[in-house]
Chain A
């Protein structure tokens, strides 16, 4: 207890070299990028050594910083606000506006730093094998390293300008990497689509940053002595009770639009599945585990702004939770109609990002951030597993229906890591996804968003179902297509020529995204049917799968509060911090803890500005009391880490005036959030839902694919009917037709199957019912929302521009002289007009 803390006490926080110099972390890959660009091609490993070494360096520094941050947290009082380690250097200054660059290291940055550096290291190692022999191998590693630099820079960013710098670097690298094999039109189109779509959202980032700057700058300069761009200043400003409602709402909405674009949320999610045209390591690193969480990170980083601007935990529905909820369901439904394994995973990513957004929107900050953490590992593992399959088993195809199946026998390591990650993704109990996703759902419900809790649970059901389907199609059943090794035997002998190999690809007509991956190395592998990938590919898979199991235990709420380390280390504590000396507060120094506990009768000397602001918006004491009462009803609702001492009722809650009220006598950097108590009953419910999804999906898959395959043996062409009674099994790209055939069958032929099959038919009915619903929703959404609404709007804008351009076309003759004539003619006429006016 901190009854003695009513007087201002300076908290001495530990720090360390790694924490103080975390700004070096993004510099390492940035330097490596330059080295790769200039010397990469001359190096023995074509530049990949620079990339890998730099990522190891960044990882080592991140780990050191993480260790020292944990020391810092452990050394501090349990409810104290842990000051982030902030450093700023001013690089531009003009007329009261100064732009800095530096670092803002707190638990959130540390988490993402470790994740990014770790996944980047593994993906770069993996890529040395996956892209061996690629014609732009060096450029690939340069882009990958630059991407890491951008992401790390965004994570350590001290202010919004620095954050935008990293944000845009990531966008650029994403564009370059998606279009890595730009010779194929589809790839370059996908790259452009991703770039333009995220760019649309980026307008929001610029607008939001500007709005917030002009609203907040005066307050932050006066109170904290930092610019209105700084994250620290904006956080404090948002919770100061000072900002006007309109300004902060507009700023938050604009920033959230940027997050929608980057994180593939509902209206702008269409670019993410297309982005799978890039090489698989890119999909794994950028488009599942790191870059696409940038939007989520932005919301988590400036959480006070969103908290106040969107009225999170308020009475009404807010924008973030709504978008997140829509995204979960829509993306999960779309995952059913995909045959491309990477697109299934892409829609799954979109759906999981929806969970994170929903969690943030519903006040479940920590579970959402924890879900970023766990999701990164298992989703990266799934993507790398898909890459492993296409690399070694399915001859660079990603088509689950045509070129996979039965691979569990051939690829035991890939299979087992895939299963582990799938279970983690579905949120099965001991795996990491359970601890994060279930916490999100739980907290969303706990914070009063019951409807969205149901959406979250149905999302869990759908997730389990589509992942089971993908797993079944890939690893079970009979091998098909390239997985069965058929086309190698037909078209390539053991002495196949490389040129011949090229032909084989084109003739095969697959969705072969990675067809360029390694023409040169075809003869080494993949020409002899499916087999396990090499160590360079499997070792990262194994590491990631281990983490997919283990990372959840960092915040294992079911085992008691001593297990909630992640919460202790990462979550910013809501405590009022006094600003003692305005003139010397740069870099986070000079702040003093005021008090903790619900008491606000402090006698702390406060700056007059703060007091003045406080008096404008009087403290609403009622709210705090209500909260205490509300939580008093749940004896187990302990949401801080001091429960061992304060297990007694009543004092179990750390009530802080931070939140929707004006902090008295200081500033807040984090809103007060509440955590749902863990209950096995709730977890059990979601487990049942997940297993139900798996079971139904499994049965459906067996019905569909297994039987079809028995009849398919010996047939080489698709679209060929297998028998009079089995016309429903027509093999199509989309599941729509397939599902319709099942409906026809289950209605037209149940009697023919006889009473002996009665049970199975009932079962089929249930299964098919689920299938029909899913198919209808997914198909409708895909056709109408995705294709017509979103694409229609985009195309409409394009058509308008095209028509206007057509009208102006003759002016653009391409002849320099005519341009000169136009220029000078216009100047002459303009001058004439001016002369006439002035006469």
Chain B
């Protein structure tokens, strides 16, 4: 598609240097009137209406001239020795190849019924390469410099104004000197005469479409190309940006040929560069399409580059005949539909919008190329504008937009990914920290377990056994001393039993409870079961399961056990209750102000404040404070509640 475009403009250039095709190109360039027609027709309406407008002569086109091609160059009108002949315009000619430049002269005749009131405009849609315009022997205008380097005028229409003073009634003559290089053709399209109001807008219009707009588009593609190369510099692995950037910049260089007054290189080299650039652009776009599709075809790619290089060397060395240059282009043109197909298919894979845009750009190019081809084959020297070179920038814009969008998309994706990664890293860090804490805790627990085992075995075999033995001895002595003993422990036995029970509590607090508060409370219940049963007290286990509480270290477990045991002991000793209920619960926000609570509710006659509950209660409060919590006691006959509340946040290791 771009290749097709490259091919079509390439064909244009090929025709420039191809003698056989000359006439057709000039005809193409002249064919613009169909397009410019509406503008031209509209122009007079917007011009100030002159009084004598109706009487002014309508524009006319001179399409016949006397033509003379002189030997060498000369700035004066050749005399009768020159071989003057009558020719139809447009006229194409070519100078001898032994001189760098050569001249041709034209004489055009037109009649005026009277000297016009105002100046007369002259519009020449195609004029190659440079020259001078005379009216009735007076120099009117120099098209451009007449010495090396000659200006580039192949795509430029010419406009001149003949002052009324130079004109006279009856026959008038326009003399035109034309100068061209040896390798190219000079040409003159039919010359149009008319009022300034009529012809100036037509000329300006054409200049805009054929020169100024191309300059603008060239600048845009240059900017895109530089941007793409910049992207590629940052991301060397994404070769498609490189190839697309190169193709865009090459387009910018080629567009110079359409609007620059002077070629940036010596004329002959520039013209040859423009020829080879058409093929080069084809190869670059081919490379781009392959990379865009994520494909590599080393052999095909090598053959393409070789094709370009061999052709270029042959052309620059003037080994390549003109018709061979045509074939050189044509082959590129023939494979281009395949790349067009690859490109659109890849675009559709990515998204419907992308594929559609590419297809529209490609179809536009095909349509415009077809239009140009029609103009070309119509051999018409009208003012119609040649269009295919506009579809190139359109195509570049579409692809450029898509690439930029991709670029932005991957930036966005990257940022999102970076966010996700950051999240993951912080998650991992938190996890590591947790693992480390767990490891530390496991180590601590292990050390604790070892210590616990040692102490346990000491207590079991040592003081525990001895106290138990002592208790058993004291009980026997009590029984022997008093045969009517009722089984109640005496004072010594009670002290011993309570000592053992306290030891039991300490050992229970060291047992592995896996941070489960219910296991802690359950252990106490299990120990008290017999005593409660004997006292005829029903225990209601109205507990709610709680999550593991890391604050349940042996230290805090012992505090809880002592508080709850004291509460039970009070119930058993003083309350006369027949029923005790144990409740548990959680409230507050986990990790912030979460609190666990344990309630012991009995149906006894309430706390008797006259009796010495004070000290036990004091101890309980102190232990609750050590847990960071508090104790609430509400008592009335029939319902006494001891409520222990403490925060579940992990205890700070001392």
A binds B: no
Q: Which residues of B contact A (CB under 8 A)?
A: none
